[in-house]
Amino acid sequence: MKLKVGDKVKFLNQIGGGVVSKIVSSQIVNVTDDTGFDIPTLIKDLIKVEPLQGAGKLFEQDIDVDVPTKQPEEKQSEYNYDEETISALRPIPESRNIDKGVYLAFVPHEQRWLITGDLDVYIVNRTSYTLLASIFLQGATEFKGIDYSAIAPESKMYLDTIDRDSIGDWQHGVVQGMFHYDKGETVLNTVSADFKIKGSRFYKEESYVEIGCLNAKAVMVSLAKLADIKPIATIDSKNKGATMDKDEEVAEPIVIKKAKVMNPNNVLEQYFIEPNVAEVDLHIEALYPNCNELDDHSKFEIQMNFFQKCLNDAIINHVQKVIFIHGVGSGVLKNEIIKELKKYKGLHYFDASMAKYGVGATEVYFSQNIKLM
């Protein structure tokens, strides 16, 4: 598919779309979404929205009408977020999203050549709370305050664009945060994360994790997982009174002495049903929430692309068994899956348990030495 600047497109693997604003390479373009944010995207992950012909054009005229962005009074936040630096995360299925929490993300401009070129640095707020964040970098003799702001729920805040020579400046720092929301039965504790990143990570392609909500590969640093942040005060549901931590003392702020750099996890990790055994649902509804807007060919491509990625990750990570649930349908998807599996030596497959899956699943076993035939 050939694209040019100005073409309207939709994202193949997630909700939304935009307009092509720049041709980066033969495989990558920048897409400007409705928030004005430029997103580097593989051309194969886009669907071109063809202009309507004839009388159909009459129904296309409202597309470019400006829609007031002001929300009703009751929905207005008390914070005025900086729209130039803060933008919403991409909505993708929860099952394929990163855990709720706060992250530091380093996103290469060039997604094809990850270990070269500039990187954008973001604080990612993957929670339902407003994050009041402050960021410091540690130098040889002092800390330097980089930025502070209120980051909207499920949003990212742009911090800086750095070249490869400046990576050393971002290897050690501290992020502090507080969580705010309008109403709730708990008040969350504050967080403080001391992060350290080895500079060598930025020069290894395997360090870059595919992050769906960022629509990009990035070096990710987990600063705080929401599940690990305990309430500092809670409303007693029986007595409707506020209760504090032990002995009515205010709990000390959580200090994460070593923030964890996310290692690239294979896509199968979320599908494991027991050690070294994964179960992958290839039904289009499980892979693409708004599947009704796709034609049959696009649905098939999404399913096969995801199957291929799971198959590759299973081989690379020495997974023992994967059950692919493809359904019955016309049999096209199953036939193509079998055709692909036949290309490998040292790989065994057969119909999965009929008692559990009917005739709509294929079970694949992987030996230690798998090669393309």
CA-based torsion, 7, 8, 12, 17: positive or negative: positive
Residue 120: which of 6, 223, 217, 245 has the closest Cα?
A: 217
pLDDT over 50 (residue 265): yes
Judgement on whether residues 243 and 311 belong to the same structural domain of the protein: no
Q: What is the pLDDT of residues 176-208, one digit of tens each?
A: 999 998 888 889 999 999 988 888 889 888 888
pLDDT over 70 (residue 262): no
Residue 333 lies in domain: 268-372
Residue 107: which of 5, 33, 39 has the closest Cα?
A: 39
Return d(Cα 187, Cα 253) in angstroms, integer. Answer: 12
**Strand, coil or helix: what is 2?**
coil
What residue type is assigned to position 336 of the chain?
A: E
pLDDT of 263 reads 52
Judgement on whether residues 66 and 90 belong to the same structural domain of the protein: no
Return d(Cα 175, Cα 135) in angstroms, integer. Answer: 5
pLDDT of 56 reads 41
pLDDT of 246 reads 46
pLDDT of 106 reads 94
pLDDT of 124 reads 94
Residue 371: which of 350, 348, 346, 341 has the closest Cα?
A: 346
Q: How many domains does the chain have?
A: 3
Write the CATH number for 241.
Answer: 2.60.40.1600
For the residues 357-370, what does the mean pLDDT come to? Answer: 86
What residue type is assigned to position 229 of the chain?
A: I
What residue type is assigned to position 235 of the chain?
A: I
pLDDT of 235 reads 82
Q: Longest C-alpha distance within the chain, in Å? A: 75
More confident residue, 183 or 60: 183
pLDDT over 70 (residue 258): no
Average pLDDT, the chain: 80
Residue 255 CB partners (closer than 8 Å, separation 6+): 192, 194
Judgement on whether residues 298 and 362 belong to the same structural domain of the protein: yes
Return d(Cα 207, Cα 209) in angstroms, integer. Answer: 6
pTM of the model: 0.50
- Of the residues 76, 97, 112, which one is the last residue of a structural domain? 76
**Strand, coil or helix: what is 246?**
helix
pLDDT bin (cut points 50, 70, 90) of residue 349 is very high
For the residues 154-177, what does the mean pLDDT come to? Answer: 92
- Of the residues 45, 61, 76, which one is the last residue of a structural domain? 76
Write the CATH number for 306.
Answer: 3.30.1370.110
For the residues 343-354, what does the mean pLDDT come to? Answer: 89
pLDDT over 50 (residue 278): yes
